[in-house]
Structure 1
């Protein structure tokens, strides 16, 4: 089921609040651009290339199993007893039977070539590739979490910008009243305290502006650290779109769960190669005493070549248990995935309700602002006619200002809730 969060009136009003965000200072910074820069600047991104290269080297090592394997060995031994031909066949007239020396020597080299390994090498490479893919996806999932931190900083700056804009409007309104009060004082129809109270309220707004500006600089500095780019105080942040269609959850963590199951599948395939035979060819060359012709008890060279067949049946003993373990691993991965999806759905439901709440609050804000504006306009006329005091007028003006500030807050909170939905859903 899809829900579309787009209210043209809300978007129009938001854009009006940020109308001064034109690119007079240059191109505005977008939220998507912040995501891209933050990921590129995050130190952990360096691991991506390391993971890829490690996987490539490991696969290359696995491929080398089919290269000729060369080994050398040597030995010198003394044996307590050797074959005695004279004792075995007796003495023969006119024939001197040889004897074999008890001290024997051999230097040997062997070249072997794997011919058939029951697919073991291919399965090893597939398993290496699966592990590499999982490591890369785990890193992608980790980097995805940066988006939420960027959201917090980005929308904090947007909120302050809107508050600064509203402060300027309120200050301009108060300064107009100060000019009227000064004129009335000069004409002897107002007190000095009326002028001073209005000026004090202007100063209060200037103090708020100073605090907002300082906070904005702090948030921009933190954002600069994340994206690896110094942001000047004049940098304008572009207002993100308020449109969003909620669809299926597509978080990078879900792909990581699938890759974990792929590893289990590869491990199960490898079990098959463990109990199949292997065939290799070999060539042995040696020099020593005695040679293969033991009758000649002297130093000499010799060689042996042929095929070697090996088949270990011991893996059958634990094959069933290994398969059971892999099946349990699959069930564990499925349980983790279901837990993740459940938590994500709970978070989506919560944020969905937040979007609905702020949408309703903004409509109520519009009604409250209309009423407060009407009251303030009446109060201006009453102040000019001396019906109410300056203090009473400021109270009504502040009430209107507070209503507008609340709407600004709710507009930014609505946007942030929508982008929280995007983050949770992975869209």
Structure 2
């Protein structure tokens, strides 16, 4: 009850959270993605399989009924039959029409390890399926990253657009004052106003795009809304894909599964030991001399120990083992291919991050220079040296420089988190196996 209340409280707190981090979004998205329900289904299926395997140790009962017509039956030698006839005894021999209704009971004592091996195969199959689910859940992380950094980029654009409108309004007011003094034209004021209205339209477009991205991210996280997000920090990670990528866990479990299947194949070659009992009512019974003289059915029973060794599995054992060896080679090849592609992607992401980092160093200087040029243009316009078009060009260039800087910064952050995704940094806690 305590854990239920705690979960409800956390859910409500998350639903009303105004600002969220990237890691929190990744956790929420993984915990609420519909695919995670497969874990419980895999566990349920495995439990049923193991329960069925355990029933192999229960007594196996078989009811039988048969009726036969035989061309020959057991009978006494003619000399002995003649002697008995001379003594007044006439044995007719067994009837050719025979019938019985019975029950066979077999209790396994040792199965050569078959049930235990099959149980291990079922458990490893469940773990491999769950690990494959983890791979799909891990891919959700990249989708969340794309949405999150898309929102972050729009936030940067919105802030810059707000600054642009403020700057345009300031210059518009200055020109309006000059126009009243007769040193500026109304068309100059209108031109700045038109640019400001265009910037307002851009703000509206960005807000609608942001709203759509926030709704999609909220759907992933299973929350009512996401109002704002935190800007991630550019931290480096030293872990490698060989340690934490879920794809490699799948490969390891697949290798263990094939090894378990090999053990199951070996166990199928071993004999089985069991005790058995048979009972039937019919004709003839075990007392054949009595049944030669009488056609009456009787009750008969037998019990004992049986050692059975089937050689039928030997016919396909070698091919089955070769098939499993091929599977092992394919899985190892999949590991090599994954690591190769992962290293390529790591190099690509590292190069992209370094490129953005170097570009950012010059972006800051470009923005400062563009600001200086724009301020000089404002002074020139006030003194009548340049026209409004020249000022708007400098304002646009400064704004573009700021947009480039913010875009490069967000792209660098996204590249860092893409690299974390490639290398498999475990920002999301691992799920316990149900």
What is the TM-score when the length of structure 2 is the normalising length? 0.88
- In structure 1, list runs of 5 or more residues that go unmatched: 1-24
User: Quick one: which of 281, 288, 293 aligns to 1:294?
Assistant: 288
Most deviating of 64-73 and 294-303: 294-303
2:75 match = 84
Contact 1:290 1:296 in 2 (8 A): no
- Aligned mates of 2:78, 2:72 — CA distance in 1: 13
- Aligned mates of 1:79, 1:323 — CA distance in 2: 45
2:429 match = none
User: Quick one: which of 204, 210, 224 aligns to 1:216?
Assistant: 210
Go from structure 1 to structure 2 and tell me whether the alpha carbon gap of 1:322 and 1:68 turns closer, same or farther (over 3 Å shift). same
- Aligned mates of 1:317, 1:41 — CA distance in 2: 50
- Aligned mates of 2:178, 2:402 — CA distance in 1: 29
- Aligned mates of 2:209, 2:315 — CA distance in 1: 68
User: Is the partner of 2:288 in helix, strand or coil?
Assistant: coil
User: Quick one: which of 322, 325, 331 aligns to 2:323?
Assistant: 325
User: Is the partner of 2:19 in helix, strand or coil?
Assistant: coil
Per-residue CA shift, 1:117-162, capped at 9, x if unaligned?
A: 1111111111111111111111111121111111111111110011
Contact 1:73 1:107 in 2 (8 A): yes
Contact 1:160 1:212 in 2 (8 A): yes
Contact 2:346 2:419 in 1 (8 A): yes
User: Is the partner of 1:197 in helix, strand or coil?
Assistant: helix
Counterparts of residues 328-367 of structure 1 (less than 5 Å): 328-367=326-365
- Runs of 4+ aligned residues of structure 1 deviating over 4 Å after TM superposition are none
1:404 match = 402
Per-residue CA shift, 1:84-124, capped at 9, x if unaligned?
A: 33636222213332532222221111211100111111111
Counterparts of residues 5-404 of structure 1 (less than 5 Å): 26-85=17-76, 87=78, 89-91=80-82, 92=84, 93-231=87-225, 235-249=227-241, 250-297=244-291, 298-404=296-402
What is the TM-score when the length of structure 1 is the normalising length? 0.90
User: Is the partner of 2:223 in helix, strand or coil?
Assistant: coil
- Aligned mates of 2:321, 2:205 — CA distance in 1: 64
- Aligned mates of 2:65, 2:232 — CA distance in 1: 75
RMSD: 1.7
- In structure 2, list runs of 5 or more residues that go unmatched: 1-15, 426-434
Give the Å deviation of 1:62.
0.9
Give the Å deviation of 1:316.
3.5
Per-residue CA shift, 1:303-330, capped at 9, x if unaligned?
A: 1100111112343444444333322221
- Aligned mates of 2:276, 2:336 — CA distance in 1: 53
